Amino acid sequence: MVCHMQRISWIDRGQTVSFEKCAEAEPRPNCVGVARLGSLQTSGTVFTLWMQLRGSSWIESREGRFRLHQREWIAFEKESRPMVQAGRDGICIGVALDGDALRLLGTLADSSIYTGHGRMSRPEARLALRLWREAQAGVLNSVHALRPLLLHVASLQRELADGVQRCPGRSRMRKRQVFSRMQRAHMYLEGNSHRVVRIGELAELTNFSSWYLSKTFQSLYEESPQSLSARLRLERAAMLLRDTDMMIGEVASASGFDNCCSFARAFRARFGTSATRYRESGVAFPPESAKSAGGSRKPVASVRT
């Protein structure tokens, strides 16, 4: 697909597009769709939010690799440069927001859009699609045509406001900056659930010291980065046991465990049963009912784990 963007760009049926390879003079769409094995490499100049309407998509970014399922949304900062690959039957719609669009949202309401990963209800997904279509039907690259869609996106993240308030900082702007960086750290752990993540990696990603990062993360999510990493790795292992025919040792390795013994102990502590019995039962233990690896955890930030 050539990079001559009209009112909307659909990357469909195995087509591949890179915003970074587009000429600077070429207009880039605010609304873009990726469907049926199409793929899009975004640039590092726009904040992007993606909403999965059907099927699934794979997204690779600086924060890691994510699989987006039906009626899930995910948002990335400019530096993340996500690459979106739709599944065989997948339909994913996206919004690319430059500085002008983000400033417009600030003038419309005392709200913002943050990095994160969450779910939509069926009515919310339908409304998102309608507003997305109306936005792309407006004036090309007009940020004002995005107004209703931006407000809807902000409403999808309404639970994030509580997290912003708990962040350190004298001004609301500073609190938002800290929260955005913490969200990126949370996303990084989610996107790297196949391995152990070092605190130094998160510190480099957020440009905070390891001490400040750990303290703020614990205060915000009521779970340390290390505990969250362990929990996400075990939930990944449970998914692999449930959805694949990988051997137990292979599941342990694919979830960042050095050996089967340490994996077996951690899995039983988390789910109250052995990995073998978990697979045989075929029952998906919801994270909320399972024994947490990190103690009590408050459901903040609307980040789906």
For 71-103, the pLDDT digits (tens) are 999 999 999 999 999 999 999 999 998 877 777
Q: Tell me: the pLDDT tens digits for 252-296? A: 999 999 999 999 999 999 999 999 999 998 766 554 433 333 333
More confident residue, 23 or 66: 66
pLDDT score for 9: 78
* 9 SS3 class: strand
300 backbone dihedrals φ, ψ, rounded to 5°: -105, 170
Average pLDDT, the chain: 86
pLDDT score for 166: 92
pLDDT score for 108: 62
More confident residue, 23 or 11: 11
Q: Tell me: the pLDDT tens digits for 31-66? A: 999 999 999 999 888 999 999 999 999 999 999 999
CA nearest to 113, candidates 81, 75, 86, 169: 75
What average pLDDT does the segment 133-140 reach? 78
Q: How sure is the predictor about 128, in pLDDT bands with cuts at 50, 70 and 90?
A: very high
More confident residue, 147 or 232: 232
Q: Tell me: the pLDDT tens digits for 111-125? A: 678 999 999 999 999
Alpha carbon 84 to its chain centroid, in Å, reads 12
pLDDT score for 284: 65
pLDDT score for 137: 82
pLDDT score for 297: 42
What average pLDDT does the segment 12-16 reach? 93
pLDDT score for 98: 83
Q: Is-contact 294 224, C-beta < 8 A?
A: yes
pLDDT score for 286: 54
Q: Which residues are registered as beta bridge partners of 40?
A: 17, 84
pLDDT score for 143: 72
pLDDT at 23 over 60: no
Alpha helices in the chain (DSSP H): 99-108, 122-136, 147-156, 160-166, 172-191, 199-206, 210-221, 225-243, 248-254, 260-271, 275-281
CA nearest to 81, candidates 107, 55, 62: 62
Q: Is-contact 50 92, C-beta < 8 A?
A: yes
Cα(132)–Cα(33) distance, integer angstroms: 10
Amino acid at 293: A
* 214 SS3 class: helix
Tell me the HSE value of 284 on the side-chain side, using a 13 A CA sphere: 8
Alpha-carbon distance values, 45 to 20, 22, 78, 79, 132 (Å):
9, 13, 5, 7, 21
CB atoms under 10 Å from CB of 238, counted, come to 22
DSSP for 86-143 reads E-TT-EEEEEEE-HHHHHHHHHHSS----SEEEE--HHHHHHHHHHHHHHHTSSTT-G
Alpha-carbon distance values, 68 to 59, 129, 190 (Å):
7, 16, 12
pLDDT at 213 over 80: yes
Q: How sure is the predictor about 171, in pLDDT bands with cuts at 50, 70 and 90?
A: very high
CA nearest to 255, candidates 276, 272, 234: 234
Q: Is-contact 234 278, C-beta < 8 A?
A: no
Of 16-20, 163-167, 225-229, minimum mean pLDDT range:
16-20
Cα(74)–Cα(116) distance, integer angstroms: 6
pTM of the model: 0.86
Cα(211)–Cα(96) distance, integer angstroms: 34
pLDDT at 132 over 80: yes
CB atoms under 10 Å from CB of 276, counted, come to 12
Cα(63)–Cα(58) distance, integer angstroms: 13
pLDDT score for 40: 95
More confident residue, 55 or 173: 55
